[in-house]
């Protein structure tokens, strides 16, 4: 009997799981945490009086959002003690899957209050009405509209000013990889914006920058020193494509360190470089690419 009940519950829940994970990931910025939250939502779905639920999708979205809000209260404390820049866990996407929820937008969401983040994610990214959002976060619709409006003002600068085609983005990513790994500093300089910023997230687990490096005159010496490292042990390309909506690539670096590099491109120049090296944030990618051999295009 119990197995039959679980099968019945899963038949409704499983088709909704991918969307629920997307909601949770945009709320939390962590693939592992998003999957944990959605699994907890499934357990609550098993315990619920499902016969009384008229709209399972709305019910489960509400459960996931509330679980995320609870999680964010403790996550904010943990991230205040995080060693070095904190970046969201990278998600590698196919070119046709890459959307406008980019890594800079996810970082901007980190600066919002949990309620602002929920209102923005549910309304602006998933198209929910303020009435449904109000029910989800226990606020009236007018308050939810204000929360989303404040959030929108904060994240506006995370949108690219001069977006370019995906194919051109991939060309720039290819050129960046060739220039940095081949030591062509003149070519690299031509790819970078004057105010380029480099972020590197190692989480204290592997070597990484403890502070962002800002400005081309500071970034160039960084890559000059890295070029000498690449001379001794060249990176191995694993995948190219889009990472959190940005062009980039997955590589294996010295000491078998897995790394993702995502490039924010604006007006044909690289304005920001996001490097994730923290192995705890890359385990899902290591599983994804396990068995992958030579360079491949996603």
- In this prediction, residue 6 carries a pLDDT of 75
Q: 159, 178, 201 — which closes off a domain?
A: 159
Average pLDDT over every residue of 252-272:
93
> Are 127 and 217 contained in the same domain?
no
For residues 39-56, one letter each, b for 16 or more C-beta atoms within 10 angstroms of the residue's C-beta and e for the rest, the string is ebbbeebeeeeeeeeeeb
> Are 171 and 230 contained in the same domain?
yes
Residues 8-36 have pLDDT tens digits of 889 999 999 999 999 999 999 888 899 99
- In a domain, residue 295? The reply is no
Residue located via tokens 């629920």:
20
Band of residue 291 on the pLDDT scale cut at 50, 70, 90? low
- In a domain, residue 281? The reply is yes
- CA nearest 240: which of 284, 200, 295? 295
What CATH number does residue 2 fall under?
Answer: 1.10.1740
Average pLDDT over every residue of 58-79:
86
Quote the CA–CA distance of 145 and 153 in Å, as a whole number: 12
- Containing domain of residue 260, as a range? 166-289
> Are 145 and 180 contained in the same domain?
no
Q: CB–CB of 143/130 below 8 Å? A: no
- In this prediction, residue 160 carries a pLDDT of 65
> How many helices, marked H, and strands, marked E, lie in the chain?
12, 7
What CATH number does residue 201 fall under?
Answer: 3.10.450.50
Q: Is the pLDDT of residue 62 over 70?
A: yes
- In a domain, residue 141? The reply is yes
> Are 139 and 48 contained in the same domain?
no
Band of residue 171 on the pLDDT scale cut at 50, 70, 90? very high
> Are 148 and 196 contained in the same domain?
no
What CATH number does residue 152 fall under?
Answer: 1.10.10.10
> Are 53 and 73 contained in the same domain?
yes
Quote the CA–CA distance of 263 and 272 in Å, as a whole number: 6
- pTM attached to this predicted model: 0.86
> Are 228 and 279 contained in the same domain?
yes
> Are 172 and 285 contained in the same domain?
yes
- In a domain, residue 108? The reply is yes
> Are 197 and 251 contained in the same domain?
yes
> Are 177 and 226 contained in the same domain?
yes
Query: Into how many domains does the chain fold?
Result: 3
> Are 77 and 111 contained in the same domain?
no
- CA nearest 243: which of 202, 203, 288, 205? 288
Sheet holding 213-214, edge to edge: 92-93, 236-243, 246-253, 257-266, 269-276, 192-201, 213-214
DSSP 8-state secondary structure symbol assigned to residue 140:
-
What pairing do the DSSP bridges indicate for beta strands 192-201 and 269-276?
Answer: parallel
Quote the CA–CA distance of 174 and 208 in Å, as a whole number: 23
> Are 72 and 109 contained in the same domain?
no
Q: Is the pLDDT of residue 183 over 90?
A: yes
Q: How many CB atoms lie within 10 A of CB 219?
A: 22
- In this prediction, residue 293 carries a pLDDT of 44
Q: 159, 186, 202 — which closes off a domain?
A: 159
């Amino acid at each position: 009997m119990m197995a039959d009940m679980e099968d019945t519950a899963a038949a409704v829940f499983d088709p909704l799981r991918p969307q629920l994970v997307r909601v949770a990931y945009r709320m939390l910025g962590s693939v592992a945490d998003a999957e944990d939250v959605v699994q907890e939502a499934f357990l609550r779905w098993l315990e619920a009086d499902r016969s009384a639920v008229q709209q399972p999708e709305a019910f489960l979205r509400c459960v996931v959002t509330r679980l995320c809000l609870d999680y964010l209260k403790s996550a904010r404390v943990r991230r205040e003690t995080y060693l070095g820049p904190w970046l969201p866990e990278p998600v590698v996407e196919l070119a046709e899957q890459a959307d406008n929820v980019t890594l800079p937008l996810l970082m901007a969401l980190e600066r919002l209050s949990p309620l602002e983040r929920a209102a923005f994610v549910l309304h602006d990214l998933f198209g929910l009405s303020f009435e449904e959002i109000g029910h989800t976060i226990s606020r009236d619709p007018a308050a939810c509209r204000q929360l989303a409006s404040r959030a929108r003002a904060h994240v506006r600068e995370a949108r690219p000013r001069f977006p370019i085609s995906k194919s051109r983005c991939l060309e720039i990513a290819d050129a960046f990889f060739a220039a940095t790994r081949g030591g062509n500093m003149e070519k690299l300089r031509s790819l970078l914006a004057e105010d380029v910023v480099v972020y590197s997230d190692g989480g204290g687990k592997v070597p990484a920058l403890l502070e962002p490096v800002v400005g081309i005159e500071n970034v160039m010496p960084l890559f000059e020193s890295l070029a000498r490292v690449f001379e001794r042990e060249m990176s191995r390309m694993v995948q190219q494509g889009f990472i959190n909506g940005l062009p980039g690539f997955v590589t294996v670096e010295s000491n078998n360190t897995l790394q993702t590099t995502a490039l924010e491109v604006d007006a044909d120049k690289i304005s920001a470089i996001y490097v994730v090296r923290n192995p705890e944030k890359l385990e899902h990618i290591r599983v994804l690419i396990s068995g992958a051999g030579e360079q491949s295009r996603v």
